[in-house]
Amino acid sequence: MRSPAEAAAWGVPVGLLGGVIGLGGGEFRIPVLLRRFGLAPGQVVPLNSVISIVTLIASFAFRAGSLSLAPLGPHLVDIAALTAGGLIAALAGAGLVARLSDHRLHHAIVILLVGIGLLLIAEGFAGEAFRLDLLPDAALPRAAVGIALGAVIGLVATLLGVAGGELLIPTLVFIHGLDVKPAGSASVAISIVIVAAALIRYARLGRLPPRDQTSGIAVPMGLGSVAGAALGAVLAAAAPSDALKIALGFVLLAAAVVSARR
């Protein structure tokens, strides 16, 4: 096992990358845990969730201080519906991790990284000119669609140990009509609930990380991620979102290549 100091050092850039656009950083952390720390995919998923919840809580607190949360007001129904759907899926999805082989889970992780990377690149090039609010104004259909979408996102996120922001942000932007930066803040808030629910389920299944992984990797990497998330929240207030998403998309594609070589 690598040293706690190295885990903390890796946590800083991962937290920074996640904090800039409203992610938990799990998608960037996966290849580090797989390649650098030599963990099996089945070990990575719950450990990644532990680190993600720490990063997400810190990121939301920092973003609330550097970015206004007022734009979220008109979209509270959408946010609540996505959260409810994600919560339901998270409680059910965690059980699937215990039944998947490391080989299948590893391939699923690589596919997710590629998909997310391409999605971010496409969204970055499209810009906000193609942002649409595809839902009617009535609260009931918006809530129904939000619950369904949240369930799909929550299942994918829980299955692979990520917070789901990489799917939540495009959903909030293209379907619910939020701007990119408020969508990032909403994504963090929703992801906190999804990841917390998954951790509760992991605890009931006896799938939480062992003590040596918690103290040697999760705690120092979480502390590093908090520091990175603080800086990321500051940068989020001024950074060009489209350019960042394109760059992050290429980072994820590179991470997928590295992970596939394992």
Count of all residues that appear for the chain in the document: 262
Is residue 88 assigned to a domain? Answer: no
pLDDT at site 84: 94
What global pTM score does this model have?
0.79
pLDDT tens readout for residues 172-205:
877 887 877 888 889 999 989 888 888 888 888 8
Domain that holds residue 62: 4-66+102-130+161-193+209-260
pLDDT at site 242: 76
Query: In the chain, pLDDT over 90 holds for what percent of residues?
Result: 9
Averaged pLDDT for residues 2-20: 84
What's the rounded Cα separation, in Å, for the pair 28 and 10?
10
Is residue 80 assigned to a domain? Answer: no
Query: Is 67 or 120 the better-scoring residue by pLDDT?
Result: 67
**Is the pLDDT reported for residue 42 higher than 60?**
yes
- Cα dihedral 62, 65, 68, 73, rounded to 10, equals 70
Count CA atoms closer than 13 A to 232's CA, side-chain side.
33
pLDDT tier for residue 220 given thresholds of 50, 70 and 90 = very high
pLDDT at site 205: 80
Question: Cα-flanking dihedrals φ and ψ of residue 209, to 5°?
Answer: -60, 145
Count CA atoms closer than 13 A to 116's CA, side-chain side.
31
**Is the pLDDT reported for residue 101 higher than 60?**
no
Only one residue has tokens 């040293």, namely 3
- 10-24, 51-65, 236-250 — which one is most confidently predicted on average? 51-65
What's the rounded Cα separation, in Å, for the pair 119 and 111?
12
Only one residue has tokens 């959408």, namely 78
Residue 20 CB: number of other CB atoms within 10 A?
26
pLDDT at site 107: 76
Is residue 234 assigned to a domain? Answer: yes
Is residue 168 assigned to a domain? Answer: yes
Is residue 152 assigned to a domain? Answer: no
Report yes or no: 79 and 186 within 8 Å, Cβ to Cβ: yes
Averaged pLDDT for residues 72-81: 91
DSSP for 77-116 reads HHHHHHHHHHHHHHHHHHHHHHHS-HHHHHHHHHHHHHHH
Is residue 87 assigned to a domain? Answer: no
What's the rounded Cα separation, in Å, for the pair 123 and 58?
26
Report yes or no: 191 and 24 within 8 Å, Cβ to Cβ: yes
Which residue type does 240 have? Answer: P
pLDDT at site 103: 64
pLDDT at site 82: 94
Residue 237 CB: number of other CB atoms within 10 A?
13
- Average pLDDT taken over every residue of the chain: 80
Report yes or no: 105 and 48 within 8 Å, Cβ to Cβ: no
pLDDT tier for residue 261 given thresholds of 50, 70 and 90 = low
pLDDT tier for residue 4 given thresholds of 50, 70 and 90 = confident
pLDDT tier for residue 94 given thresholds of 50, 70 and 90 = low
Is residue 74 assigned to a domain? Answer: no
What's the rounded Cα separation, in Å, for the pair 19 and 70?
19
Is residue 155 assigned to a domain? Answer: no
Residues with Cβ within 8 Å of residue 150, at least 6 apart in sequence: 81, 82, 83, 84, 85, 86, 87, 88, 89, 190
What's the rounded Cα separation, in Å, for the pair 159 and 94?
6
pLDDT at site 81: 94
End-to-end Cα distance, the chain: 17
**Is the pLDDT reported for residue 96 higher than 70?**
no
Least confident stretch, 43-47, 124-128, 143-147, 172-176: 124-128
Domain total for the chain?
A: 1
What's the rounded Cα separation, in Å, for the pair 63 and 141?
30
pLDDT tier for residue 160 given thresholds of 50, 70 and 90 = low
